[in-house]
Structure 1
Amino acid sequence: MNLTVSSSVYLQFNNISKHYGDIQALKDVSFDIRQTEILGLIGPNVLHHGKILSVPHRKQQMFYLPDGIMPYSELPVSRVLEFFSRLFGVQAHRMNTVITQLGLEPTLGKKVKALSKGFNRRYLLAVALLSTQPLLILDEPFDGLDLRQMLGVIDILKQTSSRGRTLLLSIHQLADAQRICDRFILLDGGKLLGMGTLEALRTKAGITEGGLEEVFLALT
């Protein structure tokens, strides 16, 4: 794999191929991430996205939040968020803002392991938002959230992008991806089907209207 950095393209992944046993997770996949955009990794099997995100590269430039984790599960939420705030050099008012944005006040005295799925997702997102790396990579950021919560998180992530951070989101639900992403990477069977804006993908698929679902079906 080759990885380059430029002024307009934040990161560029060239010719990624990954095998796990007999399974080829990625086959000669190339894509770029542009500065301050929200880029979505889309495909029928979210594990494919994890294969891309697990490829070693410049970790000091990114914060990667994988799906299905519960760090520091025996500690209260407040202590964990205070720890990460100190780790990232974030002031208390910023931590309090993130807590308020994500509605985490009812959880601060609870142990992480006692959180519901939705609150655990928001707790993890809080850790990600407290990080300071310019590239934020989130695996299934809306998992466990109801519609109102998801729309709130979408607004927060769009604000994060507008303040200068670049976001790469692995999203399984096509409708959710369409709500937030500027561009999309469509994957199927480890192969790259297409990359670009919804309009560009429609053109590639040979259709004049429809959303990501229609594009995906037309390309597969």
Structure 2
Amino acid sequence: MNQNDVLSVNLTEGGYSTDSKLLQDISFSIDKGEIVGLIGPNGAGKSTTIKAILGILNHVKGDIHVNEYAYIPERPIFYDGLTLWEHIDFLLSVSEVDEQQFIPKAKKLLETFRLSHVVNHYPENFSKGMQQKGMIVLALLKQPSLYIIDEPFMGLDPTAINKLLEMINREKEHGAGILMSTHVLDTAEKICDRFILISDGKVISHGNLGEIRMDSGLEHGSLFDCFDVLTERDNDDW
């Protein structure tokens, strides 16, 4: 892991047991100030790769080096019996931050994502979209060097998606690295610096859009078109 990396992954294999090798030869890194898209069909190994990074995968062979991170899961997770503001207050209590800066920032983010009116309500009673926005607010308040985001656009309305994209680009400008797993390929194409394409638990292509196009043989193809060609080719290899 070099000094510019916020994440380095070198896995020879990984799975839920020694008999379940869902990942093979997954290697990539993320630098400060770049957005990397983790792309693949359902069941390709994206979520399993993220679990390996988070340290919650039972069987892992290889090395993973990760800086402080914030994780935004596909399915939001909150503590039962705590209001949204109590979640924010808890984050403040375990973070080494200036309260005089933290509280105004929290209120601004709540306003940005239109959650101010439910700040004293319980997130378990929120809609999926509101829960997702709550997770985004908590992650942004943590201000880590790495964001791990799993399907961030699921359940969000267009306004919230635009706000999230603005925030992601702002964090990138401040030097954070972002690993984003998503099926929304047109958006990924616009905002990601590089891509990691996974199929059947292994990396089938990686690089910027030009390099992905070269691998797919589509000189002017969209990310979606290249993805389609590369995954079909991988299936044919099997």
> Does residue 108 of structure 2 align to residue 108 of structure 1?
no
Quote the residue 2:236 is aligned against: none
Q: What do the CA deviations read for 1:15-63 (whole angstroms, capped 9, x no partner)? A: 4411335543211111111211011111112672221122234565222
> Does residue 227 of structure 2 align to residue 216 of structure 1?
yes
Pair 1:194–1:89, CA change in 2 (3 A): same
Pair 1:132–1:58, CA change in 2 (3 A): farther
Q: What is the CA distance between 1:96 and its match in structure 2?
A: 1.7
Q: What do the CA deviations read for 1:83-131 (whole angstroms, capped 9, x no partner)? A: 2123223421222222223222122122111111111000001111111
SS of residue paired to 2:136: helix
CA distance in 2, matches of 1:186, 1:73: 36
CA contact (8 A) 1:117 1:144 kept: yes
Quote the residue 1:144 is aligned against: 155
Pair 1:191–1:74, CA change in 2 (3 A): same
Quote the residue 2:31 is aligned against: 34
Quote the residue 1:158 is aligned against: 169
CA contact (8 A) 2:68 2:144 kept: yes
Q: In structure 1, give the amino acid aligned to 2:74.
A: D
Q: What do the CA deviations read for 1:122-174 (whole angstroms, capped 9, x no partner)? A: 00011111113211111111111122321221111111111111111111222
User: Of residues 65, 69, 89 in structure 2, which corresponds to 1:82?
Assistant: 89
Q: What is the CA distance between 1:186 and its match in structure 2?
A: 0.5
CA distance in 1, matches of 2:159, 2:10: 38
User: Of residues 64, 75, 81 in structure 2, which corresponds to 1:68?
Assistant: 75
CA distance in 1, matches of 2:190, 2:89: 32
TM-score (norm 2): 0.82
Of 146-155 and 14-23, more deviation after overlay is shown by: 14-23
Aligned residues: 216
Quote the residue 1:18 is aligned against: 14
Q: In structure 1, give the amino acid aligned to 2:217.
A: G
* Structure 2 residues without counterparts, runs of 5 or longer: 56-63, 232-238
CA distance in 1, matches of 2:69, 2:153: 20
Q: What is the CA distance between 1:214 and its match in structure 2?
A: 0.4
Q: In structure 2, give the amino acid aligned to 1:10.
A: V
CA contact (8 A) 1:46 1:172 kept: no
SS of residue paired to 1:137: strand
CA distance in 1, matches of 2:48, 2:187: 21
TM-score (norm 1): 0.89
CA distance in 2, matches of 1:59, 1:74: 31
CA distance in 2, matches of 1:34, 1:144: 29
CA contact (8 A) 1:46 1:171 kept: no
> Does residue 47 of structure 2 align to residue 50 of structure 1?
yes
CA contact (8 A) 1:64 1:137 kept: yes
SS of residue paired to 2:27: strand
Quote the residue 1:7 is aligned against: 3
* Structure 1 residues without counterparts, runs of 5 or longer: none
